[in-house]
Amino acid sequence: MKPGLRLPKSAQAWRTPDFSQTLKRELEALGLDELPLQQGLSASSVALDDWMQAIILSSKETSGIIHIHAGLFYTGVVAGCSCADDPTPLERENEYCEILIRLDHASGEAKISLAQE
Amino acid sequence: MNSLKHSIVFLCIGFVWLQPLYADSSPDNINHAENASQQRDIDRLRSKASSGDPEAQYQLALAFAQGKGLAADAELAAHWLRKSAELGYAPAQYRLGMRLLEGQGVKAAPAEGIKWLRRAARQNLAEAQQALGLAILQGRGAEPDKNEAKAWLEKAATQGNADAAFALGKLLMSDANPAAARPWLEKAARAGNPDAVYALARLDSAGQPGQWRAKMQAAAKLGYAPAQYDLAVAFVQGQFGLEKNPAQGALWMRKAAQQGFTRALYDLGWLYETGTGIPRDKDKAFQWYRKAASKNFAPALYRLAIAHANGDGVEKNFDTSFDYLSRAAIQGSRDAQYALGVLYDNGEGVNQDFAKAMQWYKTAAAQGDPKAMYAIGNLHANGYGVKKDLARARTWYCKAARLGLPQARKILDDPVDIDQACPP
């Protein structure tokens, strides 16, 4: 994951009615580089980030850090033969993982990790 | 004599002690020796394959496919497989057929795949007969033909292919012919096929509870998740002659859930939520609901939507609830479709949108939801999002009333005879 990830609009929207929607939008704009989608795979081997939906499960603030628990619905494909002119279509598998976000209320800096079961 | 004995003992000890000097058995050397031997085998195989030995060609194809003793190469594997198949070697014909059918390592060509499978099947190769039967049944590479599929599956099953016996049993079950299915399922079950044991248990579910229990427990103990789930439900509800034992039910439910069996993930959540057979624990309940929801299981998505709407065991959050509700509706939950219709109809948490409300009500109504039918009637009666049309509204009220919805009957003036009030 990229260092120095920021979710400034979410930090700004904290404690407002727009927080969930804002955070959703910021998360859904992130991709494979910023989110642990690849590590969260369970049914496929290569994560895709084009059809991702974030669901905010819970959020609370302690000592200036907003702790967020979110679920990510996305898809992945099973990497297989990619032989020359093989027309076999790649089938998407539904994937889901949960993440924990530590969002610094003041700076908007965020650290995202895969939630351990 | 004694000195001779000592000399022999000394010589033996000396030999044993000296042995490492002559035969270095370090792992590197063993690997080197193995590699050299493998290389010689490959060289021999190449030579025999090049001179037209179909079995050697087949073995060489496998070596290329698996990268055993040489660099893996899917194209060369297919090349040698084809050579061997063309010389009439049945296992090669079978594997080539499967590759062409599924597009593994070669360009998919299902019709050609069927041709090769047919050749191998005619040589009485059971795996080929089974694969051919299934492919023809599914219409892959050939026109679907149930009778031909049955014939090939029967040939394979008669040779002892348990998967073919199971497939044939299932096929006969789908023809509503359980008597003909049973012997094939039993054959597969005897070979340890858990799907077959499970199918037999389900066959026995009507009228033979003792048989049901024995077979379901056998399939569950074989680790078959659907059987573990059915057994769990039977223990929780006290079915099939089992004494009600929620703790035992929870135990089997957990086993099925741990294998990722979707319904079990959801039901284990319910057992935790209600404290049935296990101590009540809402956090754990929602963890399991979320696992079921992660598989897009509509009842779990809907349950989470309701929980987040009410802050019941989870954080109260309309957006989260709405997200779960939308997913549940898309996954076919009638209740979620109706609920989305209500939100759009009333503009609760979303912009009021009668067109969207109508769309979700109609989706729910198509699944037989009387409340959605009544709501559609209201939209027509009030002209919300559509032209006001009392006749059309009445048609929808009638549909809901026929399903027994009290408010629909009331709006039709509580008719004694619904057929008279609502002519077809």
- Segment B87-126, tens digit of pLDDT: 999 999 999 999 999 887 788 899 999 999 999 999 999 9
Q: Please indicate, yes or no, if residue A2 is contained in any of the structural domains.
A: no
Q: Tell me what the pLDDT averaged over chain B comes to.
A: 89
Q: Please indicate, yes or no, if residue A42 is contained in any of the structural domains.
A: yes
Which pLDDT score is estimated for B73? 87
- Say whether B324 and A55 touch across the interface (CB within 8 A): yes
**Cβ neighbours around B26 below 10 Å, total:** 9
- Say whether B314 and A58 touch across the interface (CB within 8 A): yes
Instruction: Please list the helix, strand and coil fractions of chain B in percent, rounded to the nearest 5, in that order.
Output: 75, 0, 25
Tens of pLDDT, residues B54-78: 999 999 999 998 888 888 888 888 8
Tens of pLDDT, residues B378-393: 999 999 999 999 999 9
- B29-33, B242-246, B381-385: the lowest-pLDDT one: B29-33
Q: Band the pLDDT of B15: cuts 50, 70, 90.
A: very low
Of B209, B204, B151, nearest to B182 (Cα)? B204
How far CA B348 is from CA of B212, B306, B342, B358, in Å, comes to 49, 14, 8, 15
- Chain B from 56 to 95: CB within 8 A of any A CB: 74-75
Q: How far from chain centre, in Å, is Cα B105?
A: 25
Specify whether the backbone of B275 is left (phi greater than 0), alpha (psi in -120 to 50) or beta. left
Nearest CA in chain A to B286: A57
- Say whether A56 and B75 touch across the interface (CB within 8 A): no
Q: Which CATH architecture has domain B49-159?
A: Alpha Horseshoe (1.25)
Which pLDDT score is estimated for B71? 86
- Say whether B290 and A71 touch across the interface (CB within 8 A): yes
Report the pLDDT averaged over residues B332-356. Answer: 95
Q: Is A89 an 8 Å CB contact of chain B?
A: no
Rounded distance, CA B240 to CA B76, Å? 56
Nearest CA in chain B to A21: B319
- The set of residues, in sequence order, having a beta carbon less than 8 Å from that of A32 and lying 6+ positions away, is A38, A47, A49
Here the tokens at position A31 are 């991709």
Q: Looking at this protein, which amino acid is placed at residue B406?
A: P
ipTM of the prediction greater than 0.85, yes or no: no
Which pLDDT score is estimated for B418? 84
Q: Is B311 an 8 Å CB contact of chain A?
A: no
Nearest CA in chain B to A97: B294
- Say whether B103 and A57 touch across the interface (CB within 8 A): no
Which pLDDT score is estimated for B28? 58
- Say whether A86 and B323 touch across the interface (CB within 8 A): no
Q: Please indicate, yes or no, if residue A3 is contained in any of the structural domains.
A: no
Which pLDDT score is estimated for B48? 94
Contact A80, A93 (CB under 8 A): no
Q: Is A3 an 8 Å CB contact of chain B?
A: no
Q: Is B315 an 8 Å CB contact of chain A?
A: yes
**Cβ neighbours around B148 below 10 Å, total:** 15
Domain ranges in chain B? Answer: 49-159
Does the structure show a pLDDT above 90 at B409?
Answer: yes
- A63-67, B13-17, B183-187: the lowest-pLDDT one: B13-17
As for how many domains chain A has, the answer is 1
Which pLDDT score is estimated for B203? 84
Size of interface A-B (CB pairs under 8 A): 54
Does the structure show a pLDDT above 50 at A14?
Answer: yes
Nearest CA in chain A to B99: A81
Q: If you write DSSP's letter for every residue of B238-258 in order, what string do you get?
A: T-TTPPP-HHHHHHHHHHHHH
Report the pLDDT averaged over residues A17-42. Answer: 94
Structural domain span for residue A26? 8-83+90-114
Specify whether the backbone of A27 is left (phi greater than 0), alpha (psi in -120 to 50) or beta. alpha
